[in-house]
Amino acid sequence: MAFHITKAVIPAAGLGTRFLPATKAMPKEMLPVVDKPAIQYVVEEAVAAGLTDVLMITGRNKTALENHFDRIGELEATLLQKGDIERLRKVNYSTDLAEVHYLRQGDPLGLGHAVLRAKMHVGDEPFAVLLGDDIIDERDVLLSRMIEEQASRNATIVALLEVDPKLTHLYGIATVEATDDDDVVRITGLVEKPSTEEAPSNYAIIGRYVLRPEIFDILEHTPPGKGGEIQLTDALQTLAANPDIAGGVYGVVFRGRRYDTGDRLDYIKAIVQLAVDRDDLGPDLRPWLKTFAEGLD
Ligand code: G1P
């Protein structure tokens, strides 16, 4: 029977070392992408796909995340007093977006461990996992398509993107077989961050998963893998290799716009790409950017 998915889990316990010193006292999830913190894009995406129950797996130094999705009475009162309704609306929007829960990861044992921490909250239901470093353009469809496939196949679904073969060492990489659906592949194997030589394909997992609750038992028995961490990819490999356990693993191949905010260079690109498309910034930014680019050698 298809289950109506309502829960999203967002692992957000990472230290953000790639962005030091910006992330010394501030969570990397709060870095602004144009004028919204990266994490808000991800919560908005979950909500747009109907997932209004959000569990964030956090750690030390993450109180700014809780504050961002909470009321800030003093700020609201000041904006109201000034009659700045537009900004007040923006402030309230993130507060009212979703029902956000928080759980600390405790030991930093990897993505698989972070997802396992969601077991009690999720219970015996399929659920989504969204990684904060990836932003999917709101004009392109991904998560709702994955949820649809999860329901119809009663399987585990991951989002795949074809990447430059030189970049396989940054991703979980899948061995795939075609299905009758143009944008869906069956996954027969998965390996975490293989070298270009070892990679079975260039189909990379991007940070969106729709999982069945069986993943928790598998994660409990998954030993540390790459980097000494409990890898979600390794647990998914177990499911892919044993399709009788939980219906196997399928990939929805994403061909839309995805922005990586986990890396400094890609973060800068993401801000520029999103800003040029904005009605309030694009018209001025575009001509400036052209002139600026012409001046580069
Ligand atoms: C994680 C996963 C990896 C996946 C990637 C997507 O790696 O372990 O399998 O491809 O997210 O962004 P991370 O980027 O957290 O190192």
- Please state the length of the chain: 297
Cα of 4 from ligand 1 centre, angstroms: 26
CA–CA distance, 53 with 101 (Å, rounded to integer): 8
Q: Are residues 234 and 273 in the same domain?
A: no
Average pLDDT over residues 221-249: 96
Q: Are residues 186 and 283 in the same domain?
A: no
Task: Identify whether 240 is part of a domain.
Answer: yes
pLDDT band, very low/low/confident/very high, at 72 (cuts 50, 70, 90): confident
Cα of 172 from ligand 1 centre, angstroms: 6
Q: Are residues 217 and 277 in the same domain?
A: no
Q: Are residues 276 and 148 in the same domain?
A: no
pTM of the model: 0.95
Pocket residues for ligand 1 (CB within 6 Å)?
111, 131, 133-134, 171-172, 192, 204-207, 231-233, 262
Domain CATH code at residue 103: 3.90.550.10
Task: Identify whether 181 is part of a domain.
Answer: yes
| Residue to mutate (ligand 1; options 105, 115, 131, 231; most atoms within 8 A of CB) | 131
The closest-lying atom of ligand 1 relative to the alpha carbon of residue 172 is 9
Residue 103's pLDDT is what?
A: 96
Task: Identify whether 1 is part of a domain.
Answer: no
Scan for tokens 């990447």, then name that residue.
163
Q: Are residues 217 and 82 in the same domain?
A: yes
pLDDT tens string 132-175: 999 999 999 999 999 999 999 999 999 999 999 999 999 999 99
CA–CA distance, 248 with 177 (Å, rounded to integer): 12
140 contacts: CB under 8 Å, gap ≥ 6: 254, 256, 257
Atom 5 in ligand 1: which residue has the minimum CA distance?
Answer: 171
Cα of 34 from ligand 1 centre, angstroms: 24
Cα of 259 from ligand 1 centre, angstroms: 14
Q: Are residues 65 and 116 in the same domain?
A: yes
pLDDT tens string 17-44: 999 999 999 999 999 999 999 999 999 9
Task: Identify whether 185 is part of a domain.
Answer: yes
Q: What is the mean pLDDT of the chain?
A: 95
pLDDT band, very low/low/confident/very high, at 4 (cuts 50, 70, 90): confident
Comparing 72 with 39, the larger pLDDT belongs to 39
Collapse the DSSP code of 250 into the 3-class scheme (helix H, G, I; strand E, B; otherwise coil) and give the result. strand
Q: Are residues 60 and 200 in the same domain?
A: yes
103 contacts: CB under 8 Å, gap ≥ 6: 55, 56, 57, 58, 117, 118, 121
Domain containing 289 equals 264-297
Q: How many CA atoms lie within 13 A of 70 on its CB side?
A: 10
The closest-lying atom of ligand 1 relative to the alpha carbon of residue 231 is 8
First to last CA, the chain: 60
Residue 297's pLDDT is what?
A: 81
Q: Are residues 233 and 244 in the same domain?
A: yes
Q: Are residues 85 and 19 in the same domain?
A: yes
Atom 15 in ligand 1: which residue has the minimum CA distance?
Answer: 111
Q: Are residues 254 and 269 in the same domain?
A: no
Atom 11 in ligand 1: which residue has the minimum CA distance?
Answer: 207
CA–CA distance, 218 with 241 (Å, rounded to integer): 12
The closest-lying atom of ligand 1 relative to the alpha carbon of residue 205 is 10
- Comparing CA positions, the residue from 149, 160, 155 lying closest to residue 201 is 160
Element (H, E) at 189: strand 184-192
Q: Are residues 242 and 272 in the same domain?
A: no
Task: Identify whether 103 is part of a domain.
Answer: yes
CA–CA distance, 211 with 111 (Å, rounded to integer): 14
The closest-lying atom of ligand 1 relative to the alpha carbon of residue 133 is 12
Cα of 115 from ligand 1 centre, angstroms: 13
Q: Are residues 186 and 281 in the same domain?
A: no
Residue 61's pLDDT is what?
A: 86
Number of domains composing the chain: 2
Task: Identify whether 2 is part of a domain.
Answer: no
Atom 10 in ligand 1: which residue has the minimum CA distance?
Answer: 171
